[in-house]
Amino acid sequence: MTPIRTAILSFGMSGKVFHAPFIHLHQGFELYGMWERTKSESPAIYPGIKIFRSLEELLADDSIELVVVNTPTGTHFEYAKRALEAGKHCVVEKAFTTTVEEAIELKELADKKGLKISVFQNRRWDSDFKTVRKVIEDGWLGEIMEVEIHFDRFKDELSPKAHKETPAPGAGILNDLSPHLIDQALTLFGKPDAVFADIRITRPGSQVDDYFEILLYYPVIRVRLKAGYQVREPFPSYVIHGRKGSFLKSRGDLQEVKLLAGEKPNLTDWCTEPESEQGLLHTEKDGKVIRERIPTLQGNYYDYYDGIYQSIRNNQPVQVSANDGIHVMQIIDAAFMSNKEKKVITV
């Protein structure tokens, strides 16, 4: 096995929490380099890692095969394009880009170069979503009629990260949290026919959107996606209604909490949800009504990077492809247009 020599473009929260631990854990990768502009924090956690002080220096290193673009959203297109032009495979944080046109250009460039590019939609590997997906796919609810997916928080204060609170391409909650929810909806149900959205600013002093409600129209199903910072008592994060029954599930995945606390992931008992977070299934089987708690599947972001390894080394399909990223960007663009024009937008 020849490990995939990998460099990460930022050692902020996402680099420390979501990328480096799983790249380091996977034997198919070598966590080789980190772009740290002024600090030198990564060697304390990953001894021997190489620090780069500029993107030019990093991209000039021909031994690097994979670049993780986890910088602010407004830089994704430029940095990913430069990495592809330098012959590197790319993992790009969500939101993939700031426009559909940018997303398409990255896909076409990767195809032209024969390189792999993937969007880091790690929430597909959350324990809660994996459980919701299995309940639906196993047919417990029958034909799905209505779905709500929430990502709610309670936070009045503004983020200390200027790029999150300054009006600019890529800023705001629609670019920050909706890619998770949109990707999950598209994973479950495919592309919708139309979109309606309500996007607001609710926190005192905020200059960027911090609330959204998006309604996705399918021939039968309606999917409602919501997120905001003024929700002290959260609604169930997943509410699924079908012709046979319903399933309610909290956002119970513990990976981010444990990673932020400095815990290292593993391949055995990583982040099993407590029984108190089990989802409620209320349905009917063989003429008998069932109302019971459902054990939660185990989540692990390692599986995302295992997919990247299989794609690069064994030419397997990319699990979260550039096309997936393009489709999410199309929904985001439609949501902004819907909010502006106060009407349903055909996708």
| pLDDT tens profile 81-135 | 999 999 999 999 999 999 999 999 999 999 999 999 999 999 999 999 999 999 9
Cα 83–chain centre separation: 21
pTM over 0.85: yes
In this prediction, residue 244 carries a pLDDT of 97
d(C-alpha 140, C-alpha 220), whole Å: 18
pLDDT at 285: 86
How far is residue 213's CA from residue 92's CA, in Å, rounded to a whole number?
A: 25
292: which 2 tokens?
């019971």
Q: Which residue has the tokens 């079908």?
A: 242
Give me the pLDDT at residue 195, please: 98
List the alpha helices (DSSP H) in 193-321: 255-260, 302-314
Phi and psi at residue 290, to the nearest 5°:
-120, 130
Q: Which parts of the chain register pLDDT below 70?
A: none
CB atoms within 10 A of CB 157: 10
CB of 114 closer than 8 Å to CB of 209 = no
User: How many angstroms separate the CA atoms of 166 and 175, rounded?
Assistant: 13
How does DSSP classify residue 267?
A: S
Which residues are registered as beta bridge partners of 249? 238
In the prediction, which pLDDT does 133 show?
A: 98
What is the pLDDT at residue 23?
98
155 vs 107: CA distance, rounded Å: 36
Burial of 107 (0-12, 13-18, 19+ CB in 10 A): middle
pLDDT of residue 286: 86
Domains and CATH numbers, the chain: 4-120 (3.40.50.720), 126-299+331-346 (3.30.360.10)
Q: Is the dihedral of CA 293, 299, 303, 304 positive or negative?
A: positive
